[in-house]
Structure 1
Amino acid sequence: MKKLTLFVFTLYTHLFFAQQTVTGTVYDSNGSPLPGVNIIEKGTQNGSTTDFDGKYTIEVVSDATLVYTYIGFETQEIAVNSQSSINVTLVSGSQLDEIILVGSRALPRSNTTTSLPIDVLPAKELTATGQITFDKALQYKIPSFNTVQTPVNDATSLLDPYEIRNMGPSRTLILINGKRKNLSALLYTQTSPGRGETGADISVIPTDAIKRVEILRDGASAQYGSDAIAGVMNIILKDSPDEGTAILRTGITSEGDGETIGISINNGSTIGDNKGFFNYTLDFSKVNLANRPGTVDTLGESVDFEANINDVQNFLNQYPDALNINGSPETSSAKFLVNGGYDINENIQIYMNAAYVYKKANSFANFRTPYWRTLDDFPYLQDFFPNGPNREYIGYLPTFEGNLNDYNGTIGFKTQKNGWNYDVSYTTGGNSQEYTVNNSQNGNSVFAPSFDDANNNGIPDPGENFIPIELYRENSPISFDPGGTKFRHSVGNIDIAKALSDYVSIGFGAEFRTETFEILEGDLASYDGGGADSFAGNRPENSGKFNRYNFGGYFDLSADITKDFLVNGTIRVEDYSDFGEAFVWKLSSRYKFLDDRLTLRASVSTGFRAPTLHQIYTQRTQFSFVAGQGIQVGGFINNVSPQARILGIPRLDAEESTNITAGLGVKINKNINFTVDYYNIQVDDRIVLSTEIGPTTQGNTALDQILQDNNLSDLSFFVNAIDTRTSGIDVVANYRNIAIANGNLGISLSGNYTFQNERDGNVKNPSLVQQAGQSVVNDTQEALFFTSRPEFKAILGANYNIGKFNFALNNTLFGPTKFRNQGLQDLEDLVGGNPADSDGGSDLGVEFMTKVVTDLAINFEATDKLSVIFNVNNIFDVLPEWEFKSLTPTGDAVLNDPDATKTAFNLVTFNGRYEQMSYDGFHFSQLGTLFNLSLNYKL
């Protein structure tokens, strides 16, 4: 701790130099001013941008060198030499070597000189996708990025899990203007991709507020701390004070549903005689429900619900989809964001950004059919839900309504003194999700004492008897408040960097972070006796507020050994209040050949990911579909509970990782370039949400007792259960400025291929689970971890500019994904075999076939200020398709028997309710062709 204190003390020990003001105008070769040119003081983070008239102002030291960069123009470097005015003419030519802010904690570098694989996406490439949210736009621009809407909604309708390189959302760190974004309050517990994960909610970020996105595809825990095992996404906000847009969007699917309407305004202004700026964005949108239910199977329903087959058939004859609503939920959102900065004096600049988002999602549970919730068992339902054509009882559809609030804000200042660059900031952020369940009921028999108030005075009198009354069933409410969750953090950062010479720069800094996770208690009826049908509330004993803090420090050294040979090294130490310390490091290098036409780069690093507070403290009752058994009620216990101690479940520790990357970049000429990068990621002690652990055959263990005492079918929990290895290759290629007719064509091809994504070694089971002959990781879990994202993905895009038109054609290839759905093991009884001979593994797998989704965008510049963009996403109405794959001789026998195959189909689709995507998920979120139209007006 003394060393850490000494390290922090050195952050405050430097003196300052005076600076001078440089002004000027940047022109193109035709003498026209260029707005948006980047001007950077070489060797520092100090920079500026030209305004609409090409003018700029920057404070620099008298012997500085200014670097001028702009897309499509040659970069220029000009020595100041005490000049106060410098006008520059940029010559059209090579692609911009954009200044990259992510990847190094010393000083920023251009994209071609960095030693790491980094994708840079300008805002216009995101908006050109026509996708409604930022995360879905990335899905169709970055091959290693995947996100899929889950087939089962409820709380998950508020966040779709995303990941880079198949590593889960919690292993990608999200930054906004270089500062850590808060996590979502949602812990993802569905049996679908992303199970057991949480991450920052990037869907809440308004796309129109984004200037560009930098995605570092490499482990970066040494630079940025926890969560950066797979990479870092840095979202750079718009900072123009003069340019603005007003956008009106509307859209609809080819099925006539999923209507969208949205309006967005982005604008800015200068502050105080051009000493500062602010840029703001307001975004309001609504997306209606898009429903894609399947056709439900009569026999499967009869077996699962032990119902009379004639009753089932009569209902399904009238309602073939069993009145299920399955697809994309209705959502409404309001997003507000502001970004700003102000020059206090020649040496100090303050900056800030803040955002607030409100989002509401309305989704549905599975329809409770009249043979599932019967009048024989629940006679009062006739009065509760007279939903039929003649007001007869035909079942009911519980709703799930979620309200999300997400906010983040940063304030800080930058200064440069004595050649040292200082950046001091404070960041706060939070996310809350509160739920309402409507159109449901508590059907449990729970009694409370009362008395026969014969005297009608509300006071027990002699002769009056105490009698129990039933709280729920016919006395149940139909609307419930099940509670919710909240997360917030506060982060303080001090970052210091200096160019010690033209060849060596250093950076060091510290971060202090506090986190608070809160589980909000539901109302009594939502959890009592089992709770509301479809979504039980948070019990008092499972609710509460939990927090922790951590302190971290890093040191970064970047050295140009020669003008072509770069070496960069970083070390970091973190100290957490709840599990101890972590020490990680990173070493990267780059070597350029042939006049910078060929670049070799590589890195090796260690990393860590701290268990989230969600994973440590969440505990609740969980409703889930169990193949062949319908909806079951399981228990989800946390690692610090008495139950966990009884079962011998260890407390969670941090994941540790080793990340190796090696790449090649080739720049054939100013228009043709490509990069190839190999990666290999080893993660030890990976945190997983266990499979459902059921009762033992003996029936007399501590596990059995906990299940019996709490009336649960099973238990699940978090545990550091497995080591994993992931390897693959990323390819990015571009060919620009191809002259065709009177226009220019650009072609890009990018792809990701996964060589290896698998468990390394045996599962680390707690002893009681091992003794019960069970495992915390089964075939279903392994498939969700390793094969439920595309094995390969490629994006082929073409962009053609001619006159006032721009045409963009994008083809996204989604490779196969493989699932081992629950219920696809021990199938011997379907084909006359002996279940006792089963090894417990899956007999069948589900594989989603390779598909190509084609998107078209047409942009027409009607006037200097008005443009019209028409998008047709998924032109050819490509939908997910899957098929069974046999894994054992029993699987062969099942596929050779049509009746057995039909039963297996019912197991993975909940009797056909989820026939398009299966109950566990699929590989891309498409509900048909989507038509979008937007009107963009420059303010």
Structure 2
Amino acid sequence: MLKNAFTILTLLIASLTISFAQNRSLSGTVKDEKAAPLAGVSVQIKGVNRGTVTDNEGKYRIDVSDNATLVFSFIGFKPQEIGVKAGQSAIDVTLAENAELLSEVVIAVGSRNSKRTITDSPIPVDILSATDLRSTGQPTFDKALQYRVPSFNTVNTPVNDATSLLDPYEIRNMGPSRTLILINGKRKNTSALMYIQTSPGRGESGADISAIPQQAIKRVEILRDGASAQYGSDAIAGVMNIILKDKYDYGSATLSAGITAKGDGQLFGIAVNNGANFGKGYLNYTIDFSRSALANRPGKVSAEAEADPDMGFGAPLAQVKAFLAQKPDAGNINGQPETTSAKFLINGGNPLSDNTEFYYTAAYVYKKVNSFANYRTPYWRTTDDGLLTPAGQPYMGYVPTFQGDLNDYHATVGLRSETNGWKTDLSFTTGGNKQLYTVSNTRNRSLGKNSPIYFKPGGYSFSHNVGNIDISKAVTDKLNVAFGSEFRAETFTVYVGDTASYVGTGADSFPGITPNNAGTNTRFNFGGYVDLGYDVTKDFLINGTFRAERYSDFGNATVFKISSRYKLLDDKLTLRASYSTGFRAPLLHQIYQQLAQASFVPGQGIQTKGIINNVSPQAFALGVPKLTPEKSANFTFGLGLNPNRNLSITLDYYNIKVKDRIVLGSEIAGTAAGNTALDKILTTNGIVAVSFFSNALNTTTSGLDFVISQRNLLLGGNKLGINLAGNYTFENKYTSVKNTKLIADAGKSVFDRTQNALLFTSRPKYKMILGFDYQIKKIIFNLNNTLFGPTRFHQSGLNENTDTEFVPRVVTDLSVSIPFSSKATLTLNASNLFNVMPKWNFIDLKTGTKTHYNANDNVPSQKYFSQYNMITFNGRYSNVTYDGSHFSQLGTIFNAQFNLKF
């Protein structure tokens, strides 16, 4: 199939080349009214689906015939049509600004009523272009954001099972479920996977933004402010609005290839973006295929720890050493799993009349992940009952495999119209995410020789259907009004595994979902809002929004937002502030998911523990109350400074208070005495240790975001751009913990130091990005340095006086873009150019002493020997510990992209 696709593409390019040869070349430069070159201007031949865009110097080249008409268009400027005269070889153009079009830069995230520019916005909004994302060299959209937005954080965890299908991300340290994701202003569905590993993002879920093909993205707008009043649940930390390519300018095919400096993790991909314009209608589509190979980063395993009965398996040391002599990493495979994905996306619109447009968007993603569980060494699982070892071969243990199959879809249809100044947007959105799992090369030990070695342990799905109507009007030159409503129905399904996967002890490495833990649950909600914006003067704006929601499972929620900005010094200085209340409805996953989970417990190895759902008899017996919405109060204050057209500075302080924050608590087990009411209930229900969701915390998060951008500095006769952006967290903590009486009376708590570390200190204390853009002739250089601040962990098993800390590190990325012609460009990327790896220390909390310790160092002292082995599973996860780190452990990655326009 791939071979045929290349053949078709080659024939298409050849036919286009022959066609262009019959025309002649025309070039020119496009500038604004201040004589500054404009990059990215669309240059289209009228009536023909062919064109180009200007480069960083505003220059373009295009093949035309006599009597052709060129259309020059760019966001924020009035379009121009210019006829080509016979024999003409150059056309230079000056585009005039259009205030009405310029206001389209921020589509929806700033306010629900009339659209405003970034300067006019009373709240902080980041705008990232497709070029910004591509220059990171990162293979997926979420990883590109990691190196472009300081307050955005995500990282691969070292555990490669279902977690490989969703990497938790967050803005401003608020967790993945508190950032609302929109596609063209419409809500994206949440992933079916609830993240339950003991690593950042535990107990939450979010939309799978890695599933969105980068070639389809026109720009990304990130609102760094609470927006529940505008959009409802999930917008406590902010909103990310992904704007897709629309009007067709040119088609392109991109070939990608990459590899790590260690020679693994090979990446190959091909993406095609194309479309057509018909009248005033358009269609833009993207097809993206990619595959990344395994990148393995295991550590060296300690034989002494493996043989120790407390830290390891209590096996004879000689047996352990004999095995590790053959497999120093104990056969473990952890790092980046093998991933194959296919992504399809369509975005289009068609006018039905002079003032009505029908629009539509559809996206589908299939992703398959192949990875491995921890290797079952022969002294851990002492037999495989002859099921996994070839006849005549000595038993050497086995490594269970894990396969995840993900299907994700999103689609919107709608009508936009304008009558007498009233703008109406009526839409319907549907979306879903389904994940099914397969484990193989393993066994159900309780079935003995009758066990299969291939299991289907079940999976999860989440879907929603959303109806929206939004109406707005500029009532006067000063007053803007908007109002609307939303209906949303959600469904969460847990699929039962095959019988052999859950009966008895279950499939070794990934026990299946039992019938009593499977099922389908639904809910719906209806909400409405009103939004008023009033320009008191041309410099002073006040905006207010009120929203009311009704949920079928917990009742009502009402929130509001007030924001303002004041411009000074001829618009060179803008002061802005906002105050809002917000809410986040508990996820259906958090209410209904119940399971047994196999995971690594420091000092105890792999253990199977449970999560009881919020409506179970066991939760009722423990006195766990029903989940209610989180409530938030969000205050921001900032300024924007534009002393000249080449320099811009923004500085924004934020303070977010969350009441009744939903967390997946620490495991609750019986007491040592075994004589409390808690012990009685656990024993009666056959529970050894259990976790559950509750509205356990009140929290406070505050910090500072800043962005400084300097453009067009002259250096060596060429122009240099400098960008400095950063986020610093002042405070991220809980102010109170709520335990049920039964648990508190037993001296237990749902929130321990490990949960505190995962929630509040496992993301960088600060993060800064210093970037340089430099162009020599037509070659563009991008150099970015990302400083990841310290993160703290207190893993289960560490003593009370010890923490671990990942120290600050700078990761440098270099990108070089080389245009061979106006249609062919090669981009070379080196991510993490200097092969910087995460580095962590043990911290003695009494003395403040820091001790660096990993598997590759000479150990001067045995002080932390046992604790090191507890948190790295005896060295298997020595690079990042079992909980993950603040950036990837893969080291330097080289990749190249060849883009061909047609």
Compute the TM-score of the two structures, normalised by the length of structure 2: 0.89
Of 800, 804, 814, which residue of structure 2 is paired with 1:846?
804
- 1:471-490 to structure 2, matched below 5 A, reads 472-490=447-465
**Structure 1 equivalent of residue 739 of structure 2:** 765
**Structure 1 equivalent of residue 14 of structure 2:** none
**Structure 1 equivalent of residue 890 of structure 2:** 927
Could you tell me how far 1:760 is from its partner in structure 2? 1.1
What amino acid sits opposite 1:859 in the alignment? S
- 1:276-355 to structure 2, matched below 5 A, reads 276-303=281-308, 304-355=312-363
**Structure 1 equivalent of residue 587 of structure 2:** 612
**Structure 2 equivalent of residue 915 of structure 1:** 878
Three-state SS of the structure 1 residue aligned to 2:504 is helix
**Structure 1 equivalent of residue 815 of structure 2:** 857
Three-state SS of the structure 2 residue aligned to 1:863 is coil
Q: Is the 8 A contact 1:93 1:670 kept in 2?
A: no
Provide the C-alpha distance between the structure 2 equivalents of 1:812 and 1:570, rounded to a whole number of angstroms: 37
Q: Is the 8 A contact 1:361 1:402 kept in 2?
A: yes
Three-state SS of the structure 2 residue aligned to 1:534 is coil
What amino acid sits opposite 1:440 in the alignment? T
Could you report, residue by residue, the CA deviation over 1:644-703 in whole angstroms, capped at 9, with x for unpaired residues?
111111110000000000001110101011100000000000000011111222335565
Three-state SS of the structure 2 residue aligned to 1:808 is strand
Could you report, residue by residue, the CA deviation over 1:541-585 in whole angstroms, capped at 9, with x for unpaired residues?
110000000000000001111000011100000100000100000
Provide the C-alpha distance between the structure 1 equivalents of 2:862 and 2:774, rounded to a whole number of angstroms: 53
**Structure 2 equivalent of residue 837 of structure 1:** none
Q: Is the 8 A contact 2:227 2:239 kept in 1?
A: yes
The count of residues paired between Structure 1 and Structure 2 equals 830
Q: 1:127 to 1:268 in 2, by over 3 A?
A: same
Provide the C-alpha distance between the structure 2 equivalents of 1:897 and 1:886, rounded to a whole number of angstroms: 16
Pairing 1:575–2:550 present: yes
What amino acid sits opposite 2:318 in the alignment? N
Pairing 1:408–2:410 present: yes
Q: 1:938 to 1:890 in 2, by over 3 A?
A: closer
Provide the C-alpha distance between the structure 1 equivalents of 2:78 and 2:508, rounded to a whole number of angstroms: 67
Provide the C-alpha distance between the structure 1 equivalents of 2:594 and 2:702, rounded to a whole number of angstroms: 34
**Structure 1 equivalent of residue 156 of structure 2:** 149
Provide the C-alpha distance between the structure 1 equivalents of 2:221 and 2:781, rounded to a whole number of angstroms: 25
**Structure 2 equivalent of residue 132 of structure 1:** 139
Provide the C-alpha distance between the structure 2 equivalents of 1:670 and 1:925, rounded to a whole number of angstroms: 37
Pairing 1:244–2:251 present: yes
Q: Is the 8 A contact 2:662 2:693 kept in 1?
A: yes
Provide the C-alpha distance between the structure 2 equivalents of 1:668 and 1:628, rounded to a whole number of angstroms: 59
Provide the C-alpha distance between the structure 2 equivalents of 1:425 and 1:894, rounded to a whole number of angstroms: 56
Pairing 1:535–2:525 present: no
**Structure 1 equivalent of residue 271 of structure 2:** 264
Three-state SS of the structure 2 residue aligned to 1:383 is coil
Pairing 1:733–2:741 present: no
**Structure 1 equivalent of residue 786 of structure 2:** 812
Three-state SS of the structure 2 residue aligned to 1:305 is coil
**Structure 2 equivalent of residue 18 of structure 1:** none
**Structure 2 equivalent of residue 434 of structure 1:** 436
Provide the C-alpha distance between the structure 2 equivalents of 1:206 and 1:889, rounded to a whole number of angstroms: 49
Pairing 1:123–2:118 present: no
Provide the C-alpha distance between the structure 1 equivalents of 2:815 and 2:852, rounded to a whole number of angstroms: 46
What amino acid sits opposite 2:789 in the alignment? G
**Structure 2 equivalent of residue 461 of structure 1:** none
- 1:90-239 to structure 2, matched below 5 A, reads 90=95, 99-101=105-107, 102-239=109-246
Provide the C-alpha distance between the structure 1 equivalents of 2:353 and 2:199, rounded to a whole number of angstroms: 54
Q: Is the 8 A contact 1:431 1:488 kept in 2?
A: yes
Three-state SS of the structure 2 residue aligned to 1:541 is helix
Q: Is the 8 A contact 2:594 2:612 kept in 1?
A: yes
Three-state SS of the structure 1 residue aligned to 2:669 is coil
Pairing 1:901–2:864 present: yes
Three-state SS of the structure 2 residue aligned to 1:135 is helix
Q: Is the 8 A contact 2:841 2:850 kept in 1?
A: no
RMSD: 2.7
Could you report, residue by residue, the CA deviation over 1:289-313 in whole angstroms, capped at 9, with x for unpaired residues?
0000001111211122121122112
Identity of aligned residues (%): 57
Provide the C-alpha distance between the structure 1 equivalents of 2:805 and 2:851, rounded to a whole number of angstroms: 18
Q: Is the 8 A contact 1:69 1:98 kept in 2?
A: no
What amino acid sits opposite 1:671 in the alignment? N
Could you tell me how far 1:711 is from its partner in structure 2? 5.9
What amino acid sits opposite 1:284 in the alignment? F
Three-state SS of the structure 2 residue aligned to 1:306 is coil
Q: Is the 8 A contact 2:32 2:38 kept in 1?
A: no
Could you report, residue by residue, the CA deviation over 1:233-256 in whole angstroms, capped at 9, with x for unpaired residues?
000000122322100000000000
- 1:571-650 to structure 2, matched below 5 A, reads 571-650=546-625
Compare 790-799 and 917-926 and name the one that shifted more: 917-926
- 1:381-780 to structure 2, matched below 5 A, reads 381=384, 383-386=386-389, 391-444=393-446, 472-699=447-674, 703-704=678-679, 707-708=682-683, 713-761=688-736, 763-780=737-754
Could you report, residue by residue, the CA deviation over 1:159-185 in whole angstroms, capped at 9, with x for unpaired residues?
000000000000000000000000000
Could you tell me how far 1:888 is from its partner in structure 2? 3.7
Could you tell me how far 1:32 is from its partner in structure 2? 14
**Structure 1 equivalent of residue 45 of structure 2:** none
What amino acid sits opposite 1:114 in the alignment? S
Provide the C-alpha distance between the structure 1 equivalents of 2:429 and 2:142, rounded to a whole number of angstroms: 23
Q: 1:920 to 1:644 in 2, by over 3 A?
A: same
What amino acid sits opposite 2:369 in the alignment? A
**Structure 2 equivalent of residue 802 of structure 1:** 776
Three-state SS of the structure 2 residue aligned to 1:100 is coil
Three-state SS of the structure 2 residue aligned to 1:871 is strand
Q: 1:789 to 1:409 in 2, by over 3 A?
A: same
Q: Is the 8 A contact 1:726 1:757 kept in 2?
A: yes
**Structure 1 equivalent of residue 759 of structure 2:** 785
Compute the TM-score of the two structures, normalised by the length of structure 1: 0.85
Could you report, residue by residue, the CA deviation over 1:760-811 in whole angstroms, capped at 9, with x for unpaired residues?
12x1011221122111010000000000000000000000122220000010
Provide the C-alpha distance between the structure 1 equivalents of 2:472 and 2:140, rounded to a whole number of angstroms: 36
Unaligned runs of 5+ in 2: 1-28, 43-48, 54-71, 81-91, 854-858
Q: Is the 8 A contact 1:494 1:511 kept in 2?
A: yes
Q: Is the 8 A contact 2:840 2:852 kept in 1?
A: no
Could you report, residue by residue, the CA deviation over 1:363-395 in whole angstroms, capped at 9, with x for unpaired residues?
1111111111113xxxxx15122269x711111
Could you report, residue by residue, the CA deviation over 1:608-649 in whole angstroms, capped at 9, with x for unpaired residues?
000000000000111121111111111110010011111111
Q: 1:561 to 1:32 in 2, by over 3 A?
A: closer
Q: Is the 8 A contact 1:219 1:229 kept in 2?
A: yes
Q: 1:289 to 1:116 in 2, by over 3 A?
A: same
Provide the C-alpha distance between the structure 2 equivalents of 1:411 and 1:696, rounded to a whole number of angstroms: 56
Three-state SS of the structure 2 residue aligned to 1:760 is strand
Provide the C-alpha distance between the structure 2 equivalents of 1:251 and 1:290, rounded to a whole number of angstroms: 12
What amino acid sits opposite 2:398 in the alignment? Y
Q: 1:124 to 1:891 in 2, by over 3 A?
A: closer
Q: Is the 8 A contact 2:103 2:115 kept in 1?
A: no
Q: Is the 8 A contact 1:843 1:890 kept in 2?
A: no
Could you tell me how far 1:729 is from its partner in structure 2? 0.2
Three-state SS of the structure 2 residue aligned to 1:385 is coil
Provide the C-alpha distance between the structure 1 equivalents of 2:220 and 2:421, rounded to a whole number of angstroms: 29
**Structure 1 equivalent of residue 280 of structure 2:** 275
What amino acid sits opposite 1:640 in the alignment? V
Q: Is the 8 A contact 1:523 1:537 kept in 2?
A: yes
Provide the C-alpha distance between the structure 1 equivalents of 2:425 and 2:503, rounded to a whole number of angstroms: 52
Provide the C-alpha distance between the structure 2 equivalents of 1:146 and 1:159, rounded to a whole number of angstroms: 14
Unaligned runs of 5+ in 1: 1-25, 39-49, 55-67, 79-86, 376-380, 445-471, 826-841
Q: Is the 8 A contact 1:116 1:588 kept in 2?
A: yes
Provide the C-alpha distance between the structure 2 equivalents of 1:269 and 1:51, rounded to a whole number of angstroms: 9
Q: Is the 8 A contact 2:533 2:542 kept in 1?
A: yes
